[in-house]
Amino acid sequence: MGGMDRKSEMAYLWVRAYIEENKFSSSSKIPSENALSRKLSISRETVRRALARLEQEGLLRRVRGSGTYIEKEAALSWELGGSGGRTKIGLILQGQDSNANSSLMDGIRSILPPDQVDLRTFLTDNKFANERRCLNAVMDQGFQGFIVDGVKASLLNPNLDCYRRIYQKRIPVIFYNNYYKNLKCPRVVVNDLRCAEELISLLIREGHRNIAGVFVSDNYQSIEKFQGMAAALQKNGVEYQDDYIKWCVSDEAHDARFARSIDHFLKRLPHCTAVVCCNYMICQLVRQVLEKQGRRVPQDCSLVCFDYSNDDWEEQGVTCSVHQGYRIGQEVASRLMRMIRNRDCDDLGYTYVLSPEIYLGKTVGPARETKF
């Protein structure tokens, strides 16, 4: 991406996906810089860098005092120009965690060289409607395979008919992180049940019994993490307490305003001595809340995190499972290429389950009587 930083790159990809979704529609104006800044939780300067790149590529046109518009002829010719004999792969991302997506893409690119593979990226923003528009747009554009992070995968997906049409065309699809149980497609995932057992056992060995958890209900990964936590508590003879689990939906988990809800949740648990966070974004919010409440980590409250996707886990000293985005990217890319070569669309041994990578930081300490 021409030396762009991670946030600029994800902004670039988001707007690029927006162009793809709207190049056939009557809409030609893209959201304003302010709207994009709010939507992607980045600065206007970061947005400007991404838009400048797209303008340089001829896909956008700025009109002073009016806004920024899609150059539809250029967007259409970019597609009609073909892939120059390269293998054409579609990468369908949720797009909500820029750190995780960037490391994943680095791993994919290490396996799929640009002179051999034309990698096209699409962002769903974890919304069914966006996923459907994306799948319908690419159905007949000559893609030879897809890498997908499923949308709200714990719910019944309304777009399975699109995936079944792709299957009928004998185009291989491999999922990572979130997958749809109703499909026969392979997947690359982390063993979240084992991960939960390791993280929860760390807390229990330090005497923690009143352990809170914050999980995402429409994310299949998060459901498995929760199930792993419940199983670990039961295995270690610790009572599971419904009141100690906070559920949210994906959009809330990526919204800084969700911190208020976490604050209220923890204040209702006067005997809580530890919190389990299902991802990096929630971990950041929980730490902000604990600091605001004057609770020290780990002296007053211990903390563990699944899928810590930023690269500062050692600097921050967070006890966590490290997000293996780069490794996942390598695995999905190499397995998809094998599927394409073998003309396989079914899961004939292509699924791969990674062992969790646990980092023992400084956020877990002995449990002691506390009053929130």
Helix (H) or strand (E) holding 316: helix 313-316
In this predicted structure, what is the pLDDT of residue 28?
81
In this predicted structure, what is the pLDDT of residue 199?
98
Residues 40-91 pLDDT 10s: 778 899 999 999 988 888 889 988 888 898 887 776 665 555 566 789 999 9
Q: Going by DSSP bridges, is the β-strand pair 67-70/60-63 parallel, antiparallel, or unpaired?
A: antiparallel
Percentage of residues in the chain having pLDDT higher than 70: 92
Q: What mean pLDDT do residues 354-367 have?
A: 97
Q: Which domains does the chain have, with CATH numbers?
A: 1-81 (1.10.10.10), 192-323 (3.40.50.2300)
pLDDT range class, residue 11, cuts 50, 70, 90: confident
Report how far residue 166's alpha carbon sits from residue 188's, in angstroms, rounded to the nearest whole number: 19
pTM of the model: 0.85
Q: Going by DSSP bridges, is the β-strand pair 319-322/358-359 parallel, antiparallel, or unpaired?
A: antiparallel
User: Which of 114-128, 184-198, 216-230 comes out lowest in average pLDDT?
Assistant: 114-128
In this predicted structure, what is the pLDDT of residue 83?
61
My answer on whether omega of the bond before 158 falls inside 30° of 0, hence cis, is no
C-alpha dist (Å) from residue 56 to 12, 71, 108, 216: 12, 12, 25, 39
Contacts of 367 (CB under 8 A, 6+ apart): 203, 206, 207, 208, 209, 273, 274, 302
Report how far residue 178's alpha carbon sits from residue 132's, in angstroms, rounded to the nearest whole number: 16
The one-letter amino acid at 228: G
Q: Yes or no: say if 299 and 365 are a contact pair by the CB < 8 Å rule.
A: yes
